[in-house]
Amino acid sequence: MKKVYIALLGASIAYTHATAQQPVKLSLDDCIAYALKNNYSVRNAHIDMLIQDAQNKQTTALAKPRVNGKADFAYSNIVQSSFIDASTFPSAPGTPAAPKGTIIPIQFSLPYAGSAGITTSQVLFDGSVMVALQARSAVMDLARTNERMTAEIVKYGVYKAYNTLVIAYKQFDIIKGSLSLLRSMGNDIEKTKAAGFAEKIDVDRMNVQINNLATDSMKVANVLTVSEQVLKYNLGMDINTPIILTDTNIDKRSASAMELVAEKENYDRLPEFNALNTALKLNQYNLRRYQLSAIPSIAGFWSYGANYGSDKFSPMFSFDNYRVYSMFGLSVSAPIFEGFARQHKIHEARLNIEKTKNNIDNLKLGVDFQAAMARTNLKNSMLQIQSQKRNLELANSVLDLAQKKYKAGVGSNLEVTNAQTELLRAQNNYFAALSDMTNAEADLRKALGLLK
């Protein structure tokens, strides 16, 4: 027992030292607000939304003019020759014509050559580009919805972790109080035994109960530590930061939780439902993109530049020697036959639309099931809380009466021990009911899209 007491004392000292380091006071709303700013999943989801915005701007750029500039300078140390049949050219007067098949090399280019120009192009019509532009807002909505889905998951985790920690604190405080009471009773029994009015079995029985309760206290302390670390992880907070929870009135929260039972489902509040609807729109855009890919695409272009050639290097830097050229026109591209690939893509897109519709219906069914189950669990847990709260009050009353009878000399130590055991059982049942209630409330809020 002494070792257990020393270990528990060390844990209490460590806990006191940690809370002395200017702890941060946090309500449930504070925790949710902190998590939405610092949780790494939420931060990455926001980055994903910014990435999607950048990609949307890249899509917008497809419909804007494109201008490319190019400049070339080349020196041919060995000028390439072209080969021609000399008989195709008339001979000089008085000179016999070259026989047919007389192949001679001729250098048409000069050693030094330079050119510079600008080319501009503009898409006038392209089905894929047009659909991509139309789908930009839907894609951005999906990114925002994904960010909201991530936030909902984080809020759900924070909600459950916060309530679990609150209950662990309450349980730890009650067990500490019970342990202090048992130790006081143990000292009284030791004195009574020394005076010859109690037996050794009474002292041993009490020591067994003290050791068991001390062990339970250390288990709850471990649960408290883990629960606090889970909360800090969900918040994105350093696990060494000491915190104090301020929303500890579970009874008040249980009263407001019952108001959720009458709340009706509204699928539009759920980010998952909005995400599937947006995915349906995108699949419809995809179908339209494949359908429009059979229509020819049209683009306009214009090129402007100048070039020059010389057998010397220095004239290349005299721009008066360059000759300007210009060209503009239209480019039309039309698919003729692609091995029925477009038809298969259209069929695939239609199947994806049908699949997404099935997912929407399945989500509605799942939400209805989860909400109904959470409502049932919440009702049952509330009934359990009322029942266990009455049992807890009765157990406290029985223990108080047993202690008074024992001190008055009309009761036995065994009666006090049994009453203390029943009180501990009632406390455990009450805290288990509280935990079930807070979990059921979190599940129902999530199913209804009503997390804070």
Query: Is 251 part of a structural domain of the chain?
Result: yes
Tokens matching residue 16: 């006191």
Q: Is residue 102 part of a domain?
A: no
Let me know if residue 20 belongs to a domain: yes
Rounded to a whole number of angstroms, the CA Rg of the chain reads: 42
pLDDT at 108: 82
List per-block mean pLDDT (blocks of 10 residues) for the chain, which spans 452 residues. 45 48 89 95 95 94 93 90 82 76 84 93 91 93 95 95 92 86 82 77 82 87 92 94 90 76 90 95 94 92 92 85 92 89 93 97 95 93 91 91 82 81 89 91 92 78
Residue positions counted in the chain: 452
Separation between Cα atoms, residue 444 and residue 263, nearest integer Å: 10
Q: Which pair of tokens denotes residue 171?
A: 């349980």
pLDDT the model gives residue 13: 44
Given a contact cutoff of 8 angstroms between Cβ atoms, the answer to whether 206 and 413 are in contact is yes
In a domain, 437, yes or no: yes
Distance spanning both ends of the chain, measured CA to CA = 46
Q: Is 336 exposed, middle or buried (0-12, 13-18, 19+ CB in 10 A)?
A: exposed
Domain presence at residue 312 = no
Give pLDDT, residue 20: 52
- CATH code for the domain of 353: 1.20.1600.10
CA dihedral 166, 167, 168, 174 (to 10 degrees): 110
Report the alpha-carbon distance of residue 162 to residue 79 in Å, rounded.
82
- What is the spatial distance between Cα 273 and Cα 370, in angstroms, rounded to a whole number? 14
Q: Which domain holds residue 382?
A: 2-77+122-296+338-448
Q: Report residue 32 as tokens.
A: 């949710």
Is 100 contained in some domain? no
3-state secondary structure of 295: coil
User: Is 322 a member of any domain?
Assistant: no
Run of H or E residues at 135: none
- With respect to residue 317, please indicate whether it lies within any of the assigned structural domains: no
pLDDT of residue 9: 46
| 66 strand-pairing partners | 121
Q: How many domains does the chain have?
A: 1
How far apart are the C-alpha atoms of 133 and 254, rounded to whole Å? 50
